[in-house]
Structure 1
Amino acid sequence: MKHLAGGIQWTVFLIASSIAAPIAIAHVFGMDPVATSLFMQRTIFVLGIACLIQAFFGHRMPINEGPAGLWWGIYVVYAGMVGIFYTTSTDALQALQSGMLYSGVLFIILAATGIITKMKVLFTPAITFTYLMLLILQLSGTFIKGMMGVEEAGDHLDPVILLGSFIVLVITFIAMANKRPSISRYAILVSIALGWGIFLMLGKTPTIAKVSDQLIQLPKMFVYGKPVWDSGVLVTAIFITLLLVANMLASIRVMEHLLEQTFQITQPDRLRQGAFASGFIHLIAGAFSAIGSVPISGSAGFVGTTRMPSIKPFIIGSTLLVLITLFPSIMAIFAALPAPVAYAVTFAIFTKMVSMAFNELDADPEKERARQAVAFGLMVGVGTMFVPAESLSQLPAVVASTLSNGLITGTILAIIIEQYMIRRRQRNSYSKM
């Protein structure tokens, strides 16, 4: 009974930390209620499967998988390319679906060759800071427009939606900062529930779609068509995978430290197994046309607060999550969450990433080198965001897709600049010897 109660708590936590991403992505791609419900079903189904794969075959720790913020950002970027580089939203989603498969294969290659443990040298505090800040800056416009009720160019601000979004934002900040664990632990769930109620009273909630007459329905595969070759998405997938590796390594290390220091539980080194599992998880995400996932560092806070280091409740909670997704009527209810609520809650979450980014930069021992790399990365990355995508449409697809993405362009440049300065300093040191 104790493990069952803990499992239910894990299920609530998994849903609360995963629901906003598919809602927001479905909104930017203009999906109707039915498509939104099915997209959410597939994404959360894959997340539940991902947790079970990691628990049995991967790192074998209670670390929940969540929609990768990196992929989330890329989805938003590619939604802006519809009508420019992609004819329809389906074409863009088909390319991203294939990107998950590229990423899965790369994960497996990195794990098999042992490269995965050597990659951390590129992701210095300065590079992490640059990437986080560019991601935040790139997505902030989408969040603000969503909270204003502005969906397309030419739309006017909706005062009612803006008021509701502001109230939800305040509630989220209060819940996240509450000293009572029973509230702060479920801040996202509390904010979504109250926000949903507020928008219901304001008359701004979408209708609940009737997805299927069937009581139980399995998620469909390759919804947007067969996998396709897209060189631009390949470049993006390679870069995102490298960053996801760093994210995964950090999440595993944080949980290992918690289990050893707080619960005196020593974990064997299973980084490579975790990477193999992440590869298969991305292949599954691509097959089910869902968002790729990543181990979430916040799970360490959940385990520390609930005092549940055992993996059994985690497995039970993940299993319950998979079972819930098989009922279309339940998923349709979740899909009716107003998009501005998801944007407001996500906005609050991303404000925490700003402090995380500056903490990373402060940890860099080479302050001058870090600032130079960051300066180049941010100026080029942010500047690229203001270049109209139409201006690059005549370039080869791989070049256009890379240059039109300020997030990728800025971060790559920061890595090149910093590695050049490191090599130059090493050469100067050798010449003086």
Structure 2
Amino acid sequence: MRGALMKTVVGGVQWAVFLFASSIAAPIAIAHVFGMDAAETGLFIQRTMFVLGIACLVQAIAGHRLPINEGPAGLWWGIFVVYAGMVGIAYPTGEDALQALQSGMLISGALFILLAISGLITKMKDLFTPTVTFTYLMLLILQLSGTFLKGMVGVESAGDKIDGLLFLGSFAVVIVTFITMNHIVSWVSRYSVLLSIGFGWILFMLIGKAENVNLQSGQWVRLPELFVYGKPVWDSGMFITAVFITLLLIANMMASIRVMESLLKQSFSITPPDRMKQGSIASGINHLFAGVFSAIGPVPISGAAGFVGATRMASLKPFIAGSVIVISMTLIPSIMSVFAVLPAPVAYAVTFAIFSKMVEMAFHELDAEPKRDRSYKVAAIGLMIGVGIMFIPQESMSELPHAVSAVLSNGLITGTVIAILIERFYISREKHAVE
């Protein structure tokens, strides 16, 4: 009994560390583009991580009930950056733009729930075939690999030089992560992420590449504030944007659930029940939380499958424990200040190794497709368009409507949608040929 409890607690700590390491970059980057000071940035990180912890619990208890951590939605991240550029043009101040974004989360949450109740979510699930899932996974990996590598060598902008010492430290973390993930001792592989982050943090302290922790004094517990940027407002542009973003986030959610279901079946002989509708309602509730707490909208992260595959932790108990730990940590300023100085290259290096598992999963998905010739054609076009869009500068789309630019500037979503449309076309043509 005590051993099982210890396994759940340690597994929960590992989930909590993984959630922080994979999610903390988004609120920091958004705070930067909006010119927030250190105190405002800390509170924005607190609210975002608090919402992510709540979102994980909601999904685990009443949603899809799979061990998939929630992270800041990349689509919302992009929209935040777009709206930061509109300050002084469409919005007088950054707070006005953030108020509109806060309202957009509430709109998106309501749409998630309405689409789930109407039954459209269930019909959309059939669109995510092995071919589409393969295309989605490969685009996700290709899109993020550049970010991981740049973070590992300390390159943040075009003029930055590669930091050799940082690269060697990151490379060492990657090697250790691969070794622990594939270790013959079960507990080492199970807690590989936690061990690798601990090793990386100590290594970066020794080579002088880790910041000192400044523990906040005074306040022991701090609750996140509500509607930080004011009451919800009606913004027609944000409404249109929220509609597009919600539809794309549904596609993202379905792909993440589909990937995890496939992993559980292939690697753990677990066949989870179909809870796509409940997962969508939970995502709607989570977006409502994001709006109320003035945070970034969450979405189930596909990388969770790589994490579960690497750690062999398919149980929900450690995942729920990790969610509770995250929520608890966000309420204690001193603990938040510790995680705020986690060396970013360490997080990138560990995540890089985890995502290598996703490449294997992608090809396993393709192997499950019986119509191989059709699958190759669909994947080829989806990948070419998706990757091609990744090379088009976002500035080139600045003249387009915000909702359109948000969609077209995201190669992951655009490539996946194209793959779905092309596969539907081929399937329809094959049916007509048979008739």
TM-score under structure 2 normalisation? 0.82
Aligned-residue RMSD, C-alpha:
3.6
* Compared CA separation, residues 387 and 355, structure 1 to 2 (3 A): same
Match of 1:158 in 2: 163
Match of 1:328 in 2: 333
**1:235 counterpart (235, 238, 244):** 244
* Compared CA separation, residues 136 and 82, structure 1 to 2 (3 A): farther
* Compared CA separation, residues 174 and 103, structure 1 to 2 (3 A): farther
Cα drift, residue 187 of structure 1: 1.2
The one-character-per-residue Cα deviations of 1:148-205 (angstroms, maximum 9, x if unpaired) are 1111221111112111111111111111111222111111111111111111111111
Q: Which amino acid aligns with 1:66?
A: N
Match of 2:111 in 1: 106
Cα drift, residue 117 of structure 1: 2.4
**1:66 counterpart (66, 69, 73):** 69
Contact in 2 for aligned 1:50/1:65 (Cα 8 Å)? no
* 1:244 and 2:253 aligned: yes
Greater alpha carbon shift after TM alignment, 384-393 vs 98-107: 98-107
- State how far apart, in whole Å, the 2-side matches of 1:321 and 1:383 are: 37
- May I ask how many residue pairs the two structures share in their alignment? 419
* 1:136 and 2:145 aligned: no
* Compared CA separation, residues 377 and 28, structure 1 to 2 (3 A): same
**1:369 counterpart (371, 374, 380):** 374
* Compared CA separation, residues 390 and 293, structure 1 to 2 (3 A): closer
**What secondary structure sits across from 1:273 in the alignment?**
helix
* Compared CA separation, residues 110 and 379, structure 1 to 2 (3 A): same
Q: Which amino acid aligns with 2:192?
A: A
- State how far apart, in whole Å, the 2-side matches of 1:33 and 1:409 are: 36
**1:396 counterpart (401, 408, 413):** 401
- State how far apart, in whole Å, the 1-side matches of 2:151 and 2:307 are: 28
- State how far apart, in whole Å, the 2-side matches of 1:257 and 1:374 are: 22
* Compared CA separation, residues 399 and 278, structure 1 to 2 (3 A): closer
* Compared CA separation, residues 29 and 282, structure 1 to 2 (3 A): closer
**What secondary structure sits across from 1:122 in the alignment?**
coil
Contact in 2 for aligned 1:185/1:302 (Cα 8 Å)? yes
Cα drift, residue 130 of structure 1: 1.5
Q: Which amino acid aligns with 1:139?
A: L
- State how far apart, in whole Å, the 1-side matches of 2:351 and 2:40 are: 21
Match of 1:355 in 2: 360
* 1:213 and 2:218 aligned: yes
| Gap regions ≥5 residues in structure 1 | none
**What secondary structure sits across from 1:118 in the alignment?**
helix
Greater alpha carbon shift after TM alignment, 352-361 vs 20-29: 20-29
Cα drift, residue 360 of structure 1: 1.3
**What secondary structure sits across from 1:336 in the alignment?**
coil
- State how far apart, in whole Å, the 2-side matches of 1:381 and 1:415 are: 13
- State how far apart, in whole Å, the 2-side matches of 1:314 and 1:386 are: 36
- State how far apart, in whole Å, the 2-side matches of 1:210 and 1:268 are: 45
Contact in 1 for aligned 2:84/2:97 (Cα 8 Å)? no
Contact in 1 for aligned 2:111/2:284 (Cα 8 Å)? yes
TM-score under structure 1 normalisation? 0.82
Cα drift, residue 278 of structure 1: 3.0
* 1:149 and 2:158 aligned: no
| Gap regions ≥5 residues in structure 2 | none
* Compared CA separation, residues 389 and 225, structure 1 to 2 (3 A): farther
* Compared CA separation, residues 33 and 66, structure 1 to 2 (3 A): farther
* 1:294 and 2:295 aligned: no
- State how far apart, in whole Å, the 1-side matches of 2:97 and 2:200 are: 31
Greater alpha carbon shift after TM alignment, 321-330 vs 268-277: 268-277
- State how far apart, in whole Å, the 2-side matches of 1:20 and 1:106 are: 30
Match of 2:351 in 1: 346
Contact in 2 for aligned 1:249/1:271 (Cα 8 Å)? no
- State how far apart, in whole Å, the 2-side matches of 1:163 and 1:90 are: 41
Match of 2:131 in 1: 126
Contact in 2 for aligned 1:218/1:326 (Cα 8 Å)? yes
* Compared CA separation, residues 179 and 37, structure 1 to 2 (3 A): farther
* Compared CA separation, residues 129 and 152, structure 1 to 2 (3 A): same
- State how far apart, in whole Å, the 2-side matches of 1:14 and 1:287 are: 25
Q: Which amino acid aligns with 2:362?
A: A
**1:405 counterpart (404, 410, 414):** 410
Contact in 1 for aligned 2:12/2:320 (Cα 8 Å)? no
Contact in 2 for aligned 1:100/1:237 (Cα 8 Å)? no
Equivalence map 1:83-94=2 (5 Å): none
The one-character-per-residue Cα deviations of 1:9-59 (angstroms, maximum 9, x if unpaired) are 343132132021223324544647655644443344234323443454445
Q: Which amino acid aligns with 2:354?
A: I
Match of 2:24 in 1: 23
Greater alpha carbon shift after TM alignment, 185-194 vs 33-42: 33-42
Contact in 2 for aligned 1:215/1:328 (Cα 8 Å)? yes
- State how far apart, in whole Å, the 2-side matches of 1:403 and 1:305 are: 36
- State how far apart, in whole Å, the 2-side matches of 1:176 and 1:302 are: 5
Greater alpha carbon shift after TM alignment, 145-154 vs 207-216: 207-216
- State how far apart, in whole Å, the 1-side matches of 2:184 and 2:199 are: 19
- State how far apart, in whole Å, the 2-side matches of 1:377 and 1:267 are: 29
Cα drift, residue 412 of structure 1: 1.8
Contact in 1 for aligned 2:75/2:406 (Cα 8 Å)? no
* Compared CA separation, residues 141 and 305, structure 1 to 2 (3 A): closer
* 1:46 and 2:51 aligned: yes
**What secondary structure sits across from 2:109 in the alignment?**
helix
Identity score, percent: 47
The one-character-per-residue Cα deviations of 1:218-245 (angstroms, maximum 9, x if unpaired) are 1234456666543345423311222303
- State how far apart, in whole Å, the 2-side matches of 1:97 and 1:133 are: 32
